[in-house]
């Protein structure tokens, strides 16, 4: 089983309609994906689309307040980004099995900026930072290790995503 995929949770700006965002997302993202809307929060899983994070970043200035994205490149590594409202990465953490090809900005300052954006305790992010790379990229294991960052940010992936998400594309 391959974990080659893209993941995102986007918190939309006030006044932005989630269904309209999903329609725009359909125009931007190619391939199969599953989408779950919970109020102004949109969860996206895109199979075989690890660059989903760059597509989400381009939509942020118009649509989002904040987002967390993950690109899973299977045995080559994973990248997890926290995006601000302008679409730039506030915090980027990666596990790169190939020795430096993925972006990385996991500093105490970046973790504090991400914690402020999501109004959480930065200590939870510090704990993930200190421990998450120990097992490597964990190819073929969907959601690990990047979803540990998401839980620390207070945006856990829904356990019932597979039952409630709508298939798109």
Nearest to 120 by CA among 156, 158, 71: 156
Q: What is the mean pLDDT of residues 37-53?
A: 93
| Statement: residue 140 has pLDDT above 60 | no
Residue 66 is encoded by which pair of tokens? Answer: 């904040």
**For residue 86, what pLDDT is reported?**
98
pLDDT > 60? residue 153: yes
C-alpha dihedral, 86 to 59 to 161 to 23, nearest 10°: 150
Backbone conformation region of residue 71, classed left if phi is above 0, alpha if psi is from -120 to 50, else beta:
beta
pLDDT score at 46:
93
Asked if the model's pLDDT at residue 147 lies above 70, the reply is yes
pLDDT band at residue 68, thresholds of 50, 70 and 90?
Answer: very high
């Amino acid at each position: 089983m391959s974990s080659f995929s893209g993941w995102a949770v986007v918190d939309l700006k006030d006044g932005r309609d989630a269904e309209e965002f999903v329609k725009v997302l359909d125009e931007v993202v190619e391939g199969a994906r599953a989408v779950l809307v919970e109020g102004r929060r949109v969860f996206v899983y895109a199979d075989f689309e690890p660059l989903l994070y760059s597509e989400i970043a381009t939509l942020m200035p118009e649509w989002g307040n904040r987002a967390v994205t993950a690109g899973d490149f299977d045995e080559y590594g994973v990248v997890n980004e926290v995006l601000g409202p302008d679409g730039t990465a506030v915090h980027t953490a990666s596990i790169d099995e190939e020795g430096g090809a993925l972006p990385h900005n996991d500093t105490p300052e970046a973790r504090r900026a991400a914690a402020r954006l999501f109004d959480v305790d930065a200590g939870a992010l510090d704990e993930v930072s200190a421990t998450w790379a120990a097992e490597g990229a964990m190819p073929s294991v969907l959601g690990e290790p990047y979803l540990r960052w998401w839980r620390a940010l207070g945006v856990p992936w829904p356990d019932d995503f597979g039952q409630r998400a709508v298939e798109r594309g």
